[in-house]
């Protein structure tokens, strides 16, 4: 079903895919949904859940790879599900080669999901500080939507959960066109709303961070 957060997240990652290459670690890979966006020499999927069929079963808080062993790391919507995100980012730093990049996304606002393993939300400043304290330099940080997109996402997600649309195909067929129109309109409103008020709201953030030493 169309959801603004998924649409914008995919767009963000695709636009910044050039930072990811060489030997790539997908930390918390899930279904490797963004793998085709990248040019790489080798792609290593790490996930704690064996059902996603990762190359390595393990936690981002204790990555079973050698120091300085990967060229880049992609990790999307994972840090909020980690009980110690600082440890996870330190592990990213450890396994990444000097000069390598992390491309990481994390939510600032979203419904509870994957309960009970849903622990944190991140502001721009918190995310930057987390990477800075772990030895990274921020290359860029990009906002995922604003007030209008956030509002649309919350309403769409509420209806998905209320009517259990993920389980009811016939209802999905009815609701999805409305979600698409509503969500795309919200994205357009955010594009034209340059106000300070709008800038204070977002679904989440994408950060690209570089290992200096």
Poorest-pLDDT segment among 120-124, 155-159, 164-168: 164-168
Structure confidence by residue, pLDDT tens digits, 47-67: 999 999 999 999 999 999 999
Q: How far apart are CA 190 and CA 27, in angstroms?
A: 30
| pLDDT band at residue 110 under the 50/70/90 scheme | very high
Identify the structural domains of the chain with CATH numbers, from first to last. Answer: 4-146+202-211 (3.40.50.150)
Question: Does residue 213 surpass a pLDDT of 90?
Answer: no
Q: How far apart are CA 53 and CA 55, in angstroms?
A: 7
For residues 12 and 105, is the Cβ–Cβ distance under 8 A? yes
SS (H, E, C) 39-96: CCCEEEEEECCHHHCCCEECCCCCCCCCCCCEEEEEEECCHHHCCCHHHHHHHHHHHE
Structure confidence by residue, pLDDT tens digits, 179-206: 999 999 999 999 999 999 999 999 999 9
Q: Looking up tokens 């977002």, which residue turns up?
A: 202
- pLDDT value of residue 120: 98
Q: How far apart are CA 87 and CA 108, in angstroms?
A: 20
* Spatial CA neighbour of 48 closest among 35, 64, 66: 64
């Amino acid at each position: 079903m169309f959801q603004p957060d998924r649409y914008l997240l995919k767009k963000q990652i695709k636009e910044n895919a050039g930072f990811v290459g060489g030997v790539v670690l997908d930390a918390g890979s899930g279904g490797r949904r963004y793998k085709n966006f990248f040019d790489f020499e080798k792609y290593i999927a790490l996930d704690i859940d064996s059902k996603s069929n990762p190359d390595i079963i393990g936690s981002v808080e204790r990555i079973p790879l050698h120091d300085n062993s990967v060229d880049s790391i992609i990790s999307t919507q994972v840090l909020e599900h980690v009980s110690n995100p600082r440890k996870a980012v330190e592990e990213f730093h450890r396994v990444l080669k000097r000069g390598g990049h992390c491309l990481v996304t994390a939510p600032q606002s979203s419904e509870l999901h994957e309960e009970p393993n849903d622990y944190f939300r991140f502001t721009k400043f918190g995310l930057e500080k987390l990477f800075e304290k772990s030895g990274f330099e921020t290359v860029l940080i990009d906002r995922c939507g604003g007030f209008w997109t956030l509002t649309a996402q919350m309403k769409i997600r509420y209806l998905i959960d209320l009517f259990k649309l993920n389980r009811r195909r016939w209802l999905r067929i009815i609701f999805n066109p409305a979600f698409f129109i509503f969500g795309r309109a919200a994205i357009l409103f955010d594009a034209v709303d340059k106000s300070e008020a709008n800038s204070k709201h977002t679904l989440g953030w994408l950060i690209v961070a570089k290992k200096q030493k």
